[in-house]
Chains A and B, each alone.
Chain A
Amino acid sequence: MQEQIKKAVEAFNLIKIYGSGNTQVHALKDVSFSLSQGEVIALLGPSGSGKSTLLTALGLVNPPTSGQVFIGGVQVLDGPKIFVEERSFRRKNIGFVFQKANLIPFLDALENVQLALEINDVSARQARKRAMELLEYLGIAERANNLPTQLSGGQQQRVAVARALANRPNLILADEPTAALDGFQGRKVMELFRKVAHEQRAGVIVVTHDHRSLDVFDRTLQMQDGILQPSQEKEG
């Protein structure tokens, strides 16, 4: 039990099958892994290998066909059965970052972060304070009152990271967060994930094709045809 609490996420024997009969596709084939709190891992693999399917399964968006998932020590999935109220659980325990920042276009940077807190029943005043702290933490406080269209891609991703961190989640799931950024900006965002994981004690899984920043991660996992390859621990 003590062991489970220290884990941000644990997945056992995840299988995901799309379609039926002759058109069946096995997107996940008996995937098992765990992620500690404060750990940041990269999930690599070619397109169609099952990375995004794994991420959406862990995010309670697209449950697996079978297998169990524990987040923060709580069993949340047993196959397609979800044990928690998914939206409530997501807003308290899981943060998402995507290739596109997906910021709400009619809210400024500060409000985008504030919104994540307010929908988790944090008072407007407290939410604003915490949102500002997060923007300062991620080095983008001076753009707090700018709309997403007034921010660069890198700045938008920082706001998206701040939003993902807002409710102090156990787990942050990032799906190709640097795909739309140049190398410099991309590396800065990857470093940000490392900082967040280590300082905020969140488990971070980053799906990426960008091999230039792999040194930032504690571990890398490789997906191939729905099978998770043995992990590579970072040297030193």
Chain B
Amino acid sequence: MNLALKDIQHNRGRFGLTALGIGMLLMIVMGMGGIYQGLIEEALFLVNRIGADLWVVQRNSRGPFAEVSRIPSNLEDRVKAVPGVLTARRFVSHTIQREHNGNPLRIVVQGLAWPDDKGEWLSLQAGRHINSAHFEMIADQLLGLKLGEKLTLGKDAYTIVGITKGMVGQGGDGIAFFTISDALAIQLDTAAEQSRLEREARGGRISITDLGRFSPELLERAKGPSGGIPTLPIAFVSAVLVQVRPGVDPEAVAQTIRGWKDVSVHTAEEQRELLLKGAVDKSRRQIGLFRTLLVLISAIIMALILYTLTLDKVHDIAMLKLMGARNSVIIGLILQQAILLGAIGYAVAYLLGQELFPKFPRQVIITEEDLIVLGGIVLAISVLSSFLGIWKAMSVQPSDVLS
């Protein structure tokens, strides 16, 4: 006869509610693990999906994710000339926040090196890839934009031609893909008044230099559009992504580029390390510590519940001892209930999580490995937390039945 099951059958409602409570607590533990994994996934998403072997960035910077990186866009051509390089493309990525239908809309603006990169590597849920050099965008469904909708960013309106799923930046915001030139236009958008003022100021600055005094024509040009001034620098991008030829060691190509004095280069693995140990490290550790605390709290709550369940049975335990029941019978009763409570709580946590986690604003990724580890932790908590109840049961004297 299984006393643990008999007791549970007799107190179904109470046990069910307790298991539900434990389950909800474990769901939070599970969810924290999922948020932790989601954070890593989101942080590494672009690095993993963009398919670059090397990231060429501003000299001595850990960019473009961990810190700002600015390199001239024509660096792409220099990189293409390095032996072993298959492709090199410019990379622009920045986050903007605009209003959309009265709500804030945060977008990770990602530049594609069109026409070489039309976004074919993106898995589309609807629509098509980018076919035009300007004014088209592919948006992730997380942004809530509709296919065919026009979104005004800066001075231009961009048509949503494709929809992706699960494309998020390291902050959990949805990514929208544009051509590099459009991405730069969005990033460097300046108001007309600002341009006018800058032209006037430029004229003022150059008029006090020898160059301005000896070249009145240059003075005239300085007051016009910036494209008319040959000495102004060319556009900057965040990084140049390099794909090496099959069979070529990326480290060998990196060594060549490291010889240049104006840039730094990171392998894809180094880029992942930079992200995990830099940008998301504190969040990761914070969630990890919070999760550890939650596990401890769950253990304490379970221990108290099992202790209370045991206190309710002190008289029955005394009677069992008086009847001559072995300690194993009494320990089995408490331990089996603890494990059942943990197992049911775990199942409740899993089922509730399956329903609730997809509704969370950021990714909650429950991996199989996490489930196994949490299962082990729940088992350990169940066993450990039953010790308090077992200790109480062992201290019960058969004579207590007389009291």
Q: Give me the interface of A with B, judged by CB distance under 8 Å.
A: 52, 56, 59, 61-62, 87-92, 96, 98, 102, 104-107, 111, 114-116, 118-120, 124, 147, 163, 175
Of the stretches B4-12, B112-120, B163-171, B300-308, the one at the interface is: B4-12
Pairwise interchain contact A124-B1, C-beta atoms closer than 8 A: yes
Question: With A87-B321, A124-B1 as given contacts, are A102 and B326 in contact (CB-CB < 8 Å)?
Answer: no
Instruction: Give the complex CA separation of A118 and B10 in angstroms.
Output: 20
Pairwise interchain contact A119-B326, C-beta atoms closer than 8 A: yes
Identify the interface centre among B1, B324, B325, B399: most chain A CB within 10 Å of its CB.
Answer: B324
B398 interface residue per 8 A CB criterion:
yes
Q: Which residues of B contact A163 (CB under 8 A)?
A: 323
Closest to A101 in B: B319
B316 interface residue per 8 A CB criterion:
yes
B322 interface residue per 8 A CB criterion:
yes
B402 interface residue per 8 A CB criterion:
yes
Instruction: Give the complex CA separation of A150 and B6 in angstroms.
Output: 17
Pairwise interchain contact B7-A106, C-beta atoms closer than 8 A: yes
Closest 5 CB pairs of A and B: A91-B324, A106-B10, A90-B324, A87-B324, A119-B325
User: Which listed residue, A52, A96, A105, A175, touches B323 by the CB 8 Å rule?
Assistant: A96
Interface of B: prevailing SS: helix
User: Which listed residue, A115, A116, A124, A175, touches B402 by the CB 8 Å rule?
Assistant: A175
Q: In whole Å, how far is A76's beta carbon from the nearest beta carbon of chain B?
A: 13
User: Which listed residue, B10, B324, B398, B402, touches A92 by the CB 8 Å rule?
Assistant: B324
Total residues of chain B contacting the partner, CB 8 A? 23
Question: With A91-B325, A106-B10, A119-B325 as given contacts, are A61 and B399 in contact (CB-CB < 8 Å)?
Answer: yes
Pairwise interchain contact A102-B401, C-beta atoms closer than 8 A: yes
Q: Give me the interface of B with A, judged by CB distance under 8 Å.
A: 1, 3, 6-7, 9-11, 315-316, 319-326, 329, 397-399, 401-402
Instruction: Give the complex CA separation of A98 and B398 in angstroms.
Output: 13
Instruction: Give the complex CA separation of A114 and B1 in angstroms.
Output: 9
Question: With A56-B399, A62-B399 as given contacts, are A91 and B1 in contact (CB-CB < 8 Å)?
Answer: no
Instruction: Give the complex CA separation of A115 and B9 in angstroms.
Output: 16
Identify the interface centre among A87, A89, A175: most chain B CB within 10 Å of its CB.
Answer: A87
Instruction: Give the complex CA separation of A106 and B8 in angstroms.
Output: 8
Question: With A56-B402, A105-B316 as given contacts, are A119 and B324 in contact (CB-CB < 8 Å)?
Answer: yes
Q: In whole Å, how far is B306's beta carbon from the nearest beta carbon of chain A?
A: 16
Known: A87-B321, A104-B320, A111-B1. 4 other contacts (CB 8 A): A90-B324, A96-B322, A102-B319, A106-B11
Pairwise interchain contact A104-B324, C-beta atoms closer than 8 A: no
Q: Which residues of A contact B324 (CB under 8 A)?
A: 87-92, 119-120
Instruction: Give the complex CA separation of A91 and B325 in angstroms.
Output: 7
Closest to A118 in B: B1
Instruction: Give the complex CA separation of A56 and B11 in angstroms.
Output: 32
Closest to B7 in A: A106
Instruction: Give the complex CA separation of A115 and B402 in angstroms.
Output: 20
Q: Which residues of B contact A111 (CB under 8 A)?
A: 1, 6
Instruction: Give the complex CA separation of A98 and B320 in angstroms.
Output: 14
Closest to B398 in A: A61
Instruction: Give the complex CA separation of A116 and B321 in angstroms.
Output: 11
Pairwise interchain contact B401-A87, C-beta atoms closer than 8 A: no
Pairwise interchain contact A102-B315, C-beta atoms closer than 8 A: yes
Question: With A104-B316, A119-B329 as given contacts, are A90 and B402 in contact (CB-CB < 8 Å)?
Answer: no
Q: In whole Å, how far is A59's beta carbon from the nearest beta carbon of chain B?
A: 8
Identify the interface centre among B1, B316, B323, B325: most chain A CB within 10 Å of its CB.
Answer: B323
Pairwise interchain contact B1-A104, C-beta atoms closer than 8 A: no
Instruction: Give the complex CA separation of A105 and B317 in angstroms.
Output: 12
Pairwise interchain contact B6-A107, C-beta atoms closer than 8 A: yes
Instruction: Give the complex CA separation of A110 and B128 in angstroms.
Output: 73
> 21 A-B residue contacts at CB 8 Å?
A61-B322, A87-B321, A87-B324, A89-B324, A90-B322, A90-B323, A91-B325, A102-B315, A102-B401, A105-B10, A105-B316, A106-B9, A106-B11, A107-B6, A111-B1, A114-B1, A115-B1, A115-B323, A118-B1, A120-B324, A124-B1
Instruction: Give the complex CA separation of A91 and B326 in angstroms.
Output: 10
Closest to A111 in B: B1
Q: In whole Å, how far is B215's beta carbon from the nearest beta carbon of chain A?
A: 101
Instruction: Give the complex CA separation of A102 and B323 in angstroms.
Output: 11
Q: In whole Å, how far is B323's beta carbon from the nearest beta carbon of chain A?
A: 6
Q: Which residues of A contact B399 (CB under 8 A)?
A: 56, 61-62
Closest to A106 in B: B10
Q: Which residues of B contact A52 (CB under 8 A)?
A: 402
Q: Which residues of B contact A96 (CB under 8 A)?
A: 322-323
